[in-house]
Structure 1
Amino acid sequence: MQNSTKSPSKRSKIEEKMDKIIYILLSLLVLISSISSIGFAVKIKYQMPKWEYMQPLIDNNLYDPGNPGKSGIAHLITALILYGYLIPISLYVSIEIVKVFQARFINQDIHMYDEETGNTAQARTSNLNEELGQVETILSDKTGTLTCNQMDFLKCSIAGTAYGVRSTEIELAAAKQIAMDLEEQDTQNINVPRYMKSANKEDSRGGPEIELESVITSKCENDQKPAIKGFNFEDSRLMHGHWLNEPNQEALLLFFRILAICQTAVPELNEESGMFTYEAESPDEAAFLAAAREFGFEFYKRTQSSVFIREKYAHPGRLIEREFKILNLLEFTSKRKRMSVIVQDEDGQILLLCKGADSIIFDRLSKNGRIHEELH
């Protein structure tokens, strides 16, 4: 504690610049007062005896030609008082009042409201409000420090069939770039004859316009539907138990069970919504569990030796609770790039469930398991 240094006070650039201006004005005040005081002392010494009408009726030491120094000092004090309005003392008070109102505006700014947590921006101190608008460069050490780092289950490929109709952020960015390129092309062709321009538009913009329109329409539909944290998937073939009508329903059943079982999360029941939330080691694991829940395979309980899931659509009309005993668990590491769990189901069958990077999983597939490799 004795070696700890006192934390420095934070001052904005405007305050530092204002201090410099005050110092300059203070120096100017002293200079003007000194010059006027010297001039007053000189006049008292050399010209006061000649001004008979200026002679005091009684002896006054402040106007004594024999002691001009005392007159100069008295005039210096008078000049400092008279010229003191050159220093804008009220400027500090005005700026502090402005900062207080700025902090209130920041706290009430609806554009900085976080719907997920229900919190608004909080200006804990008003000393550095003006610094916010002067930020030019932000340095971040890793993903998640300043970014959202939220994983959403958007699309999946099961047994060679792709599911999910919503557009990814990459597709939206690509469509936006195509639109910008087309606008730039139209600007360059502004001098082309009208009949040629219309023909070029039909040839060059037909495909991209349709693609861009479909992507934007999908984006608008996404915005209209209330989002579930970690789950932004939409495909009628899998939702509400419709996956039972798919030809590869056995692969779909195993896929959903892997999402719900191959994890290390802890479920927590939200009493307000009645739904389970999951404390997971990573955002992608929480997204997988949210997807499994929406597909009808809800992970709701964990013990030291088992995991429990509720299957809603596996048997139409019945909600079945299943227990899977955990025989061994190999957690995900950066070296293995995969996670594996060995479980025993209620029928006594032992299963090895694994999830991880596609490059790692594909290398470990048997020959019979590679039939869908090129379709992923």
Structure 2
Amino acid sequence: MVSKSTDISVLMCLSVCVCVQFLKMFTDFLSFMVLFNFIIPVSMYVTVEMQKFLGSFFITWDKDFFDPEIQEGALVNTSDLNEELGQVEYVFTDKTGTLTQNNMEFIECCIDGFQYKNRQDVGSELDGFCVTDGPVSKLQQKAGREKEELFLRALCLCHTVQVKEASTDDLTELDQVDQVDGLERPLTQPQEERGFIASSPDEVALVKGAMQFGFTFLGLESRTMKIKNRQNDVESYELLHVLNFDPVRRRMSVIVRTRTGETLLFCKGADSSIFPRVRPEEVDRIRTHVERNATEGYRTLCVAYKKLSADEFAVAESRLQEARLALQEREAKLTAVYNQVETGMSLIGATAVEDRLQEEAAETMEALQGAGMKVWVLTGDKMETAKSTCYACRLFQRGTELLELTVRTLEEGGRRREERLHELLLDYHKRAVQDAPPAKPGVTRSWATANQEYGFIIDGATLSLVLNPSPDANSSRYKSLFLQICQNCCAVLCCRMAPLQKAQIVRMVKNSKGSPITLSIGDGANDVSMILEAHVGIGKYHLTDTTYGILLILITVVVAEVVGRCYFLYVSFYLYRFVLMEVSVCVCVCMCVCVCVCVWLTLTLVNTHRFKPHQSQS
């Protein structure tokens, strides 16, 4: 019994000794870290920061980054990202103004189910719709003429366009007109085109399109909007309220009052936000045209209107005034009032605007993918329009199998959206991840495992279900499954995106396994959030109508492939050089100290032995 207790005491003493030894080793390690901190000298920090600072000037002076249109080069806001450019794995880009020229041209419109082209080639036929399928005989009737003029008035009134001052007081039109698809327009343009300024080029394109068919917006003076009709008569409308556009509502409206005292609401916006607010029978007449135009790559907008009675306008005005004076949750209250006013509208028609692809956009996308970068397109446009652009710039090949996760696919099968979403995610994960070929050995970058046979498409509504799922067992894996699928696809298209959703996508990839370096490119206010969220953000400044957004992509390719890699090598060289130099100095100092100590000990021993007194013999 005594021996057993003795053994326990010995074991406890040994454990205490071991703990003390480990604690001593840890404190010694920290002490030596303090003692040898001079191995990383202050001069290294100064030299590396100076190298980065001077390197940013070389990027600014580089002729490849010089834009002759604005006579300026690239603007480097921070020098800490030079070396990270060579390690970019994911590129997030906007579509409008970056992949496309952001130079809008009015192509055609659809009024009351009939299509009207704005081109001279009237001999072709598309999907059973002739280019001249406008019923000329119907337009000669009073009802048809009123519908047509109402649509053109809506284009002239529902916007925030400002008119530039022209050199001539009036724009003269010739008596000769050309009737294309039932719409009359001048054969010759005015001597000097009227200039327009707007925050969105779509609005300018629509106003110019209406002007080509006889309705000209003259300007806004003292809350009075003036337009000139086909008979050259000036019409005045009192602007009562503007329900501003925002990326969540995806529409804007104006409330105007005519000279006769009639109050009208004109609304234009995306089909997904307009169709639920009009009568279903009106949607069926226009939906086919909208989908066909989107498939051809055109930007589509739907136009609707509503007559407001005196009581309806009084209620709407009081609610708007109350919401605008609210001190808390003002935006939410305004949105709620907008949604109440913009109901029960009548659908007039739809427009198609062309935004041409940038020059060499396809070659640039291939260069990005060839450099090992994954390209994600984040846009607020309609899915068919964005998909057509991705095919045109070769992000999607004709042999690419597209994995679509949109509201349309979720509604198939007649089941709940959450159940359908869970089923599709598991199916896509099996096809793109589990059945994908194994990664090449020795390759660690995430793009190396990409399956080149699949492309992924998701819209904003479905993305909200993925990122903000309901609290159940199945939804907990939505985000991880979605990320794994996207990482194993050659390209990803996110359409109908809100600005905050763009930032959420970038944040999700940035915080994923491996912490890949991300880069965002954009040219508008909707892209600011994702530019700030990424490791590297590139934006276009000094915007002009002729400034090519493709320069941003070219800058990305050149910087990421050449300049970024060079700066990464330079910084690595300086770090290794300083560490090696300081370690060498420390070794030399230690050797010198050891030599001095050895010499001192040797001399001490020799002197001690030489002068040691001899013992006297007795």
TM-score interval, smaller chain: 0.3 to 0.5
Q: TM-score if structure 2 supplies the norm length?
A: 0.27
- Structure number with the higher strand fraction is 2
The structure whose RCO (Cα within 8 Å, separation 6+) is larger is 2
